[in-house]
Chains A and B, each alone.
Chain A
Amino acid sequence: MTTREIAGKTVDFDEQGFMSNPTQWDKTVAEALADEIGIDLTERHWQVIEFCRSDYQSQGDAPTMRRITQQAGVPTKELYQLFPKGPAKKVAYVAGLKKPSGCI
């Protein structure tokens, strides 16, 4: 468990480097986290991030890629363009969620 200063706020991270307290998340934190991994957030990114956050609230786990493509209406190819090389993990990271545990 580590604590870092992100966008002027104190944010807790778990041992895998993902935010451990989703309530510390807000849009400025998301922008700062995205910037850290070289992503400029667009409308489309936000659509995915917001889906993931609401899905996390109802399911208790960060959604799998398959869930995102099927339910957020963003196809696989585009998801890899938005969050290159590791979309499910990168979305979860930016959305302030734990690392997804699904295999797909």
Chain B
Amino acid sequence: MFDQNEDRKLCIICSKGTLDMAYPGLVLANAALMEGIDVTIFFTFWGLDIINKRKMNHLKFVPIGNPSMPIPNAIGGLPGMTNVATAVMKHEIAKLDFPEVGEFLEIIHDSGGKMYACKMSVDMFHDMHMMNEEDIYEGVEAVVGATDFMEMSNGAQIIFI
């Protein structure tokens, strides 16, 4: 009953950097590791914010343009609403005993999950003065290209977030 995931491999692509798009990838990665599944996470485009040490614990939840939110866009777009919505979501996440992003990455790393940053995005963000390689969380194995990712994900199930 504990060996059904023996050869199972999961690759998660995290492409978004908002709080509500960061957690699904991290929760799934951690759940897979807890099930004995081999896990690789590839952070690309805005997903790099999740592994950016300066930003990881300050990701935002944006209420505007989200039809699932119980408040109208006109109110969600008022100054300060993003901070309020973010604080509420962070509070709820903590209440469920889920860690902050930085600690979550550490748990995933310590559990044997492998994390990689996308080279094209790192180069682009560097060029736009949005990020340097030194900003990348130390638990990330390497900055790799899309073709490397193709090799790593050979035979894996892939989730794109």
Name A's B-contacting residues (CB within 8 A): 16-17, 37, 64-67, 69, 75-77, 80, 84-90, 93, 102-104
Contacts and interface: CB of A to CB of B under 8 A. Distances in A.
Nearest to B38: A85
Contact of B36 (A67, A69, A86): A86
Contacts of B30: 104
Given A85-B36, A90-B2, A103 B31 contact: yes
Given A89-B34, A104-B30, A67 B111 contact: no
A87 B34 CA distance: 6
Interface in B1-29: 1-2, 5, 27
Nearest to A84: B36
Contact of B98 (A17, A89, A90, A104): A104
A77 B27 CA distance: 17
Interface residues of B, number: 17
A80 B35 CA distance: 11
B99 A66 contact: yes
A69 B107 CA distance: 10
Contacts, number: 47
22 contacts: A16-B1, A17-B1, A64-B97, A65-B107, A66-B97, A66-B99, A76-B106, A76-B111, A80-B111, A85-B2, A85-B5, A86-B34, A86-B35, A88-B34, A89-B2, A89-B35, A102-B97, A103-B27, A104-B30, A104-B31, A104-B98, A104-B99
B36 A104 contact: no
A98 to B, nearest CB: 13
B95 to A, nearest CB: 13
Interface string B77-107: 0000000000000000000011100000011
Q: Which of B2, B36, B106 has the most CB of A within 10 A?
A: B2
B151 interface: no
The 10 A-B pairs of least Cβ separation, nearest first, read A85-B36, A76-B110, A86-B36, A77-B110, A17-B1, A76-B107, A88-B34, A37-B2, A104-B98, A86-B2
